[in-house]
């Protein structure tokens, strides 16, 4: 599995988005899904 190094400011931003005891992996996966859905919507919107 690949590893990713994050800057302290990025970790602080992720901590601000975490709900309850969600892992960083869960948070990043959800964020990617949201971004992909937004991209998909923009692609078909015009």
3-state SS, the chain, equals CCCCCCCHHHHHHHHHHCCCCCCHHHHHHHHHHHHHHHHHHHHHHC
This prediction's pTM: 0.57
Q: Say yes or no to pLDDT of 38 above 90.
A: no
Answer yes or no: are the C-beta atoms of 34 and 44 closer than 8 Å.
Answer: no
> Per-residue pLDDT tens for 2-37?
787 889 998 898 888 888 888 888 888 888 898 888
């Amino acid at each position: 599995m690949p590893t990713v190094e994050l800057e302290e400011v990025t970790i602080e931003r992720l901590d601000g988005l975490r709900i309850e005891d969600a892992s960083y992996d869960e948070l990043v996966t959800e964020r990617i899904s949201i971004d992909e859905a937004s991209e998909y919507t923009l692609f078909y919107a015009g």
